[in-house]
Each structure stands twice: as structure tokens, then as C-alpha cells.
Amino acid sequence: MKKAVIALLIVTISMLSGCSKRAEVKEIDDKYKNYYEIFVGSFYDSDENGIGDINGIIEKLDYLNDGDRKSDNDLGINGIWLMPIMPSPTYHKYDVTDYLGIDPQYGTMEDFEKLVKECDKRDVDLIIDLVLNHTSAQNPWFISAKKSLTVEPCGKEICAYSEPCRDHNKYVKYYNFSQEKFSGYHSVGMPTGWYYEGVFWDQMPDLNLDNEEVWKEIENISRFWLDKGVSGFRLDAVTSYYTGNVSKNVEALKKINSITKNYKEDAYVVGEAWADAGTITNYYESGIDSFFNFPCSDSNGLLVNTIRNKNGVDFAKRVEEWQKTIKGIKENAVDAPFLSNHDMGRSAGFLMRDLTKEKMGASLYLMMPGNSFIYYGEEIGMIGSGKDENKRLPMVWSIEDKKGITNAPSGATSDNGSIEAGVMEQEKDKESLLNFYKEAIKLKNMNPEIARGTVSAIDIGNDSIAMYSCEYAESKVYVVHNLSDDEIKIDFEKEDFNYSGISGYLTAAGGKAVLKNNVLNLPPTSTVIIR
């Protein structure tokens, strides 16, 4: 990840959606990005074997970011998170057999190095999934450990057996073995009477994070990928490092953070702590940059409930309170809001495939402070729920042209057959969800205060209005969401708000935002940025 850069961009005020006047910004923290989550196997197939691959991502980089800051053709993404890319026997690859390799289904290390270079050309940060809670049962470490469990201790300083006994094989201590079967333990499967911890699945043996040799491996893995040019890591399942023990999980995260930042000071690390707000708050004590904002996401999270209940005042207050909470623990904490991810039903489904609601949902989370995370295909309204495979269906590049579209993961029981328009079709439709996402991301990129600013909720006396200011580097913008189906007018006296005009706006159902004679006219289901 590159150091913070000096940015000085001034764009004239425009009434067009997404255009904005950008004040002089003295310093941009390069950890603030719009991230795009990619399941590689379902993104783009470059070699026509039915499986997405790294070269496919390279081919489609211009869709995410074409490297031209003046371009309106790309999505405006400046951060990419790749779901697991390391060798694994499963389609999802959350069970690693080699932490220092690329799964052959996805390509080669040379392909990955090329991807890093292409991302660098576009100033796009690339982070990868790091799965440290468990390995694959087919990992050579685990295979070696199982063999040694059958060999009785030799009692000698140097093992006398051709196959090292269990006291002399370091890999035995990489895992949690026991001769008693505890909850979450599985039989080793040999006539030894041994069991191993594998909380998620019997093919995912848990690593023993009390073992210093394991931490040496973690340090080696982290340094290897940072040397390859990644900007940081997404940490999988951090609440399960020590199941049910928050304090030990936090201590483990402190170690990971130290290992990463001591080697690459500006690396970005985001953790998956799928838990309630209070628990996530505790995890920020680890020093990790970000944790995903799970209370905001999914079918019953803050974002969707705000759309359903049209309670903008509550939304603004909770955004302010959450920022104060996490920054009260870690001053430079970066929130990571998202609408849905690879473990959840897709947002288009729980928003009832209502285009206005999908647009409003996008506007709400993309205009929150922090690093927004967009799940691939969310920007075109892809669907999928139930089995995990259904949530990771092929990216729909076109309804007509099937080039590059992958096969569905084995075991999927649904498809995207009911989606009416893919990327190619939506690019041609000015009112499409895809073009709305483009405008929203552009608006956020051109107003850096939104991601980085200190939030202050503003209650104007109308529950349907979510309004807050974002102040950063002696500059301030106002984010105003109209969640109602009605046009609303707001008194916007200059002495109260000290503004120069509309920086840009988004309308989920059409209409035009106007600020005239200190009165702001908000179309139904719209978002306006005032500078």
C-alpha cells in the first residue's frame, strides 16, 4: 500500500448526479478505499475451462478501474479483496494446503504478480484472504502430524525412528490433539485413540495458536505475500481463533497486527468478527484497522431496516455513535460497512428486487464513513441465497454474450437465469443499478470528507431525513438522505450550515435536487451532498 498522498483537486459545482466540487484536501489517508470483494472462481473465465481465474480479473480490471481518474466508464473501485487464492481441495478454498502458493485452478504465481502490477498501475490496493484459524486436513502439516501420532515416543534426544515419533514431529503441536473427545473434536481415523479440534468441519483442523512455531509460520506467510506486493489482509473467522474467548482472540489479533505492521507499516488489515456491536467493539482493542460492520448488514441489519422503516434520524445517530465508539478505542479505526457478502443471501433478494430500494441501500452504505465493501455482482442486482454455493454464482457480464461467464460452483441449486440485464446491458441503461453505483462511488471519491470525516448527526425534525456532517482536514460536507417516497424541502440557512452549494446528488426514483434561496428541494428516495 502506498503512503498517503497530497491531493489538490477542485471541480466546479454541478447539478448533475455524482459531479462535485472538491475542496482542497491537504492529505488523503490511503487506507480509505472503496473495496470490491471477488470470489475468483465465479468472476471471469479467461481460458474457457468454466472456472474464473486471476487472468480473468486482469482482463476485467478496466471495469473496476481503468486508471483514468477522469473516466466515467469504470466503477471507481480503488481496492480489491480476493477471497482465498491458495491451493485447496474445495471450491471455496477456505481450507489451505499451501499458504505460499496459488491454486492451479486460478493460475500461477506469475499471473498473480502480473495482477499486482496491473493494480499498482491503477492505484488499486489488493488485499487477500488470510485463513489462520484452520488448515485443510490435506495440508502436509496435518498429514505429517497424523502419521506421527501412530509412533510411540522413542524417549531419545534425537528420534530413532524413520518416521518421527509424536514427541519429535513439530507438526503434532501445530494442531490441538487429544485422547479425549471434546466438543468440536473429530477422530483422527486411525487406531490410535486420538482426536483433533476442527470446529468448522472435520476437514478443517484448527491450528494451535498457543504454539510459537505456528506463529513463526504466520510471520513467514505474512511477509511472503507482503513481499509479493499485496496491500494487506482480510482475516477470516477471527472470533474462532479461541472459540468463545474474546480476550484470547484479541491477543492473537494483536500478534497478527504487530507481525504485519512491523514488516509493512502502512499495510491494511480488516477482520471478520461476525458478532454483535458490543463484541466487535472489543475487537478494536487489538489494533486491527477495521472490522466488518455486521450490525449494518444482511436482511435485518441497520441498512435494510432504515429503508423499510424510513427512519433517517435513527440511522444518522447510529452512524455517529458507532464512529465515536470505535474511534474511542482506536483513534484511527476505519469502519468497514457492507450490505451483503459471500456468506449471506444477496442484497437484491432481501430488498425484494426493488430497484429503488437497491439504489437507496447502495447510497446509504456507500456514503457511510470508512471503507465500503461491495460484493461482486451486487452492483448489477445479482441474486442468490440458501446454500453458500448459491451466494457465489457466476458474475453476469451479459445476458446475450456468454464469453467469460463461469460455471456455477458444484452443488449450487439456483442460477442467475432470472436476472434481466448483465453488465453489458446495464452499462447502456442510464437508469440501471450499475450506473447508479458508478455515480455513487464517484460522488464519494470526489468528496473525501465522507469516508474520512468526523460525523455529526443533524436532526431537522423529519424522521425520514438522515442528515449528518462529515468534517475532515478543515473541510466539511453534509450528507442528506431522503428516505421517503415524497419530495421534501429543508431550510438550509447559510448562517447555520456555512455552505457553498450542492456538490452532487443521487436519485433512486428520478427527480432533481435543487438548492435555491436557502431551501433544499429533495426528490423522493434521494441523496444530496452539500459542500
How far is CA 511 from its chain centroid?
32
Whether the Cβ atoms of residue 174 and residue 141 lie closer than 8 Å to each other:
yes
Q: What's the pLDDT score for residue 29? A: 56
Cell matching residue 351: 430488498
> Contact, 119 vs 81, CB < 8 A?
no
Estimate the share of the chain in helix, then strand, then coil, as percent rounded to the nearest 5: 30, 20, 50
Pick the CATH number of 31-137+208-449 from 3.40.50.300, 3.30.360.10, 2.70.98.10, 3.20.20.80: 3.20.20.80
Contact 369, 455 (CB under 8 A): yes
**What is the 3 state secondary structure string of 335-388?**
CECECCCCCCCCHHHHCCCCHHHHHHHHHHHHCCCCCEEEECCHHHCCCCCCCH
The three state secondary structure string of 408-439 is: CCCCCCCCCCCCCCCHHHHHCCCCCHHHHHHH
Report how far residue 415's alpha carbon sits from residue 174's, in angstroms, rounded to the nearest whole number. 40
Angle between helical axes of 246-263 and 212-227 (0-180°, round to 10): 40
Nearest to 468 by CA among 396, 364, 371: 364
Instruction: Show pLDDT as tens, one digit a residue, over the chain (531 residues).
Output: 343 333 333 333 333 343 433 343 334 656 899 999 999 999 999 999 999 999 999 999 999 999 988 888 999 999 999 999 999 999 999 999 999 999 999 999 999 999 999 999 999 999 999 999 999 999 999 999 999 998 888 888 887 777 897 888 999 999 999 999 999 999 998 777 899 999 999 999 999 999 999 999 999 999 999 999 999 999 999 999 999 899 999 999 999 999 999 999 999 999 999 999 999 999 999 999 999 999 999 999 999 999 999 999 999 999 999 999 999 999 999 999 999 999 999 999 999 999 999 999 999 999 999 999 999 999 999 999 999 999 999 999 999 999 999 999 999 998 887 789 999 999 999 999 999 999 999 999 999 999 999 999 999 999 999 999 999 988 999 999 999 999 999 998 887 888 999 999 999 999 999 999 999 999 999 999 999
Q: What pTM does this model have?
A: 0.94
Strand partners, 234: 129, 270
In angstroms and rounded to an integer, the radius of gyration of the C-alpha atoms of the chain is 24
Distance separating alpha carbons of residues 509 and 506, to the nearest angstrom: 9
Q: How far is CA 5 from the centre of its chain?
A: 23
Which of 420, 413, 383, 379 is closest to 398 using CA atoms?
420
Whether 389 contacts 91, CB under 8 Å? yes
The pLDDT score that the predictor gives to residue 161 is 77
**Residue 21: its pLDDT value, please?**
38
Q: Are strands 502-507 and 372-375 parallel, antiparallel or unpaired?
A: unpaired
What are the residue boundaries of the structural domains of the chain, listed by start? 31-137+208-449, 140-197
Q: Which residues contact 216 (CB under 8 A, 6 or more apart)?
A: none
Using a 10 angstrom Cβ sphere, with 0-12 exposed, 13-18 middle and 19 or more buried, the burial of residue 246 is: middle
The residues annotated with a catalytic role in the active site are 236, 272
Residue 215: how many other CB atoms lie within 10 Å: 17
CA distances in angstroms from 128 to 98, 327, 405, listed in the order given: 15, 25, 23
Contact 103, 87 (CB under 8 A): yes
Phi, psi of 512 (to 5 degrees): -135, 130
